[in-house]
Amino acid sequence: MCGIAGYFQIEGRREPDKELIGRMVNQIRHRGPDEFGAYLDNKCVLGQARLSIIDLAGGSQPMCNEDGSIWITFNGEIFNYVELRPELEKLGHVFKTRCDTEVIIHAWEQWGKDCMSRFNGQFAFAIYDKNRRSLFITRDRLGIRPAFYTVHDGRVYFASEIKSIFCDPTLPRALDYKGLDEIFTWWTTAPPRTAFEGINEIEAGSWVEIADGEITSGRYWTMLYPEEFDRQQSAASWTEELRELLIDSVRLRLRADVPVGAYLSGGLDSSATTALIKHFTDTKVETFSIAFHDKAYDESAYQQQMADHLGTSHHRVDCGYQDIAEHFPKVIWHTERPIVRTAPTPLFMLSRLVRENDFKVVLTGEGSDEILGGYDIFKETLIRSFWAKDPDSTWRPSILKRLYPTLPVVASKAGAYLEAFYKKGLADTDKYYFSHQPRMATATMVKTFYSPDARGRVDGYDSVAAFGRDLPNNFLNWHHLSRAQFVEARSLLAGYILSSQGDRVSAANSIEGRFPFLDHRLAEFAAKVPPWHKILGLKEKFILKKAMLPELPANILDRVKQPYMAPDSNSFVQDDSPEYVNELLSEAVLDRYGVFNPPAVGKLRQKCTRLADKHLSFKDNMSFISILSTQLLIHQYIENFTSAEPLKRSEFKVWHDATVA
């Protein structure tokens, strides 16, 4: 984990702005507080905030090749750098460090853009080629590490976080209302769009290059699923292959020159990765988890059971309503977009606990649900696609009651509620977003709170179509589960799980999360696994449970998945709620910011307060959090943004000041 930043003159030369790069790096020092570096010439400026994990003494950045013609600033890890290095040495490349950053430089010299296909990692990096006078920026296959850019006044600015780009005071800062509309549909924006006008996000598995006065882009990887699955390979064979890949993925992600810990949620995925760590170490594993005061969200009993079972040294952070309300503004500062749930906030607290225990790296279980069919949305899709074959059937929709046996609705009404909710869009099985219609129906309620001005700004914009661009040609020939998994990975995984709940809240506390399930070899393997081995009946992640039989206790393997959630609106309607809630949701501030209708928001807030200790609908909860987080975003980034002070020259370990003729 590091932070990258800089800018590139699209045409011509200009004296480098040394103060600006000092501000840009300082603005994201939380991503890498160990060292700061910069390269400057009159064509390109590169900055680095380093979190030292591999080759602590020799891995300082920005780094160059032997003749100083290629420079890189790099965020993340190339886990297979150990294997790539001897291959490059045989091809004549000479190394001066032990770090993975230098492997990227020589791989770029050897293979150019094709080098990305050789990397097993989680990364974002920018390479400046002085001879070609070009800048190349790219991002890992699944979008674990972020990269943003914008074009302004003849320059391309780039950074790991948007706040670094905003350090140039001449850059305009304004909301992108279409971006907001996408968030209030999908929980995230579809790259290149972000929540801010003119700020672009590089999509997962993609690159952007600036050369010869032009900006070009491309994709080097996408997840593909077969039209037909192998029906001959046995479940046992699929299971063994999964197990071997997962063990090797964990092995690679333990490569570090600092201690590596693990998140332990009490569910299958983090329990699996933590259990496999023990294959590669004789020392006691350090694990970290969240306990909620609200028992509806708490899994601490399972967490402790797994810690005892694995013999880990376990650390826990306790989270109550007041904690969520207190830390929520910090979370929005780091997510740089509105969020629709409070779930990132306890994870922000968890990464702080890791840092307080002197760890920099943790393994986590994210990605398993997306690639192996763990979410309810996948089971809903299978049920709805089955039901769609006979929409008038009276018994097919009853399967939904098996999926949600504890739905907090009066039992006599539960069946009718489920049937009415999930029947909407049943005729749209040929639409790419068929699987995600129920989720969108819940998220989009916040749009009813738009002000007339906001409504006018998005009038006619189809946010539902946002992730439908550039679909594989044979997408509609895929199995319904494959389609759902593809859309989920492209939208929620990259844009929310790995961002707002991942990189942003871990980097906020200088922590690097590593994701064994998101090794691209494992993801590509999982795409080939037949749907019936992923979800057997309504039993999710079937082959993963079989693969982990030797490692985990039965009650962990047999647990029905409990989605990670946190208390939402009831965290902000308590008697001791912070004053910022009252201020930002006041009629005057709502009116001044202009996104939401003040009287309508006032009624929603009253409803949330009245039903704080009772059942409040998902729609109302998500609307409240969406509105509050948007107000915070405007307050922090549009109304009151102040850039960091510039770092002093003496604070940079690396400072290379040059010129280009």
The predicted-structure confidence for 234-285, as pLDDT tens digits, reads as follows 999 999 999 999 999 999 999 999 999 999 999 999 999 999 998 898 888 9
Does pLDDT of 22 surpass 50? yes
Long-range CB contacts (< 8 A, 24+ apart) of 167-173? 167/20, 167/23, 167/24, 167/27, 167/643, 167/644, 168/20, 169/643, 172/197, 172/198, 173/637, 173/638, 173/641
The percent of residues in the chain predicted with pLDDT above 70, rounded, is 97
Does pLDDT of 411 surpass 50? no
Please count the CA atoms within 13 angstroms of the CA of 181 that sit on its side-chain side: 21
- Give the whole-angstrom CA distance, residue 334 versus residue 321: 20
Compute the average pLDDT of residues 300-306: 95
Radius of gyration of the CA atoms of the chain, in A: 24
Q: Which residue has the higher pLDDT, 357 or 615?
A: 357
Q: Which amino acid is located at 316 in the chain?
A: R
Instruction: Return the closest-CA partner of residue 371 out of 225, 471, 239, 229.
Output: 225
pLDDT at 392: 75
pLDDT at 613: 64
| 235-371+486-557 matches 2-221 in CATH topology | no
Q: How confident is the model at residue 415 (pLDDT cuts 50, 70, 90)?
A: low
Q: Which amino acid is located at 629 in the chain?
A: S
Q: How confident is the model at residue 399 (pLDDT cuts 50, 70, 90)?
A: confident
What global pTM score does this model have?
0.96
Helix (H, G, I), strand (E, B), or coil: what is residue 551?
A: coil
pLDDT at 543: 96
List, in order, residues 6 or more apart from 555 with CB less than 8 Å away.
Answer: 305
Q: Which residues are identified as catalytic?
A: 2
- Residue matched to tokens 């690639």: 371
C-beta separation of 69 from 110 below 8 A: no
- Give the whole-angstrom CA distance, residue 17 versus residue 27: 16
List, in order, residues 6 or more apart from 351 with CB less than 8 Å away.
Answer: 362, 505, 506, 508, 509, 511
Does pLDDT of 386 surpass 50? yes
C-beta separation of 225 from 482 below 8 A: yes
Q: Which residue has the higher pLDDT, 39 or 396?
A: 39
What's the chain's average pLDDT?
A: 94
Sheet with 134-139: strands ordered across: 63-64, 70-78, 121-129, 134-139, 206-211, 214-219
CA 395 to each of CA 318, 415, 427, 639: distance values in angstroms, whole numbers, following the listed order: 44, 11, 18, 55
Strands, E, within 106-242: which ranges? 121-129, 134-139, 148-152, 155-159, 200-201, 206-211, 214-219
- Give the whole-angstrom CA distance, residue 604 versus residue 601: 5
Q: Where are the domains of the chain?
A: 2-221, 235-371+486-557, 569-639
- Give the whole-angstrom CA distance, residue 285 versus residue 277: 8
Strands, E, within 485-644: which ranges? 512-514
Residue 277 phi, psi dihedral angles, 5° rounding: -60, -35
Does pLDDT of 407 surpass 70? no
pLDDT at 419: 65
The predicted-structure confidence for 422-451, as pLDDT tens digits, reads as follows 778 888 999 999 999 999 999 999 999 999
Q: How confident is the model at residue 412 (pLDDT cuts 50, 70, 90)?
A: very low
Just give the CATH number of 2-221.
Answer: 3.60.20.10
Compute the average pLDDT of residues 614-626: 89
Just give the CATH number of 235-371+486-557.
Answer: 3.40.50.620
Which tokens go with 234?
């046995």
Compute the average pLDDT of residues 502-526: 98
Compute the average pLDDT of residues 168-190: 98
Q: How confident is the model at residue 416 (pLDDT cuts 50, 70, 90)?
A: low
Give rounded-to-5 percent helix, strand, coil for the chain. Answer: 45, 15, 40
C-beta separation of 288 from 261 below 8 A: yes
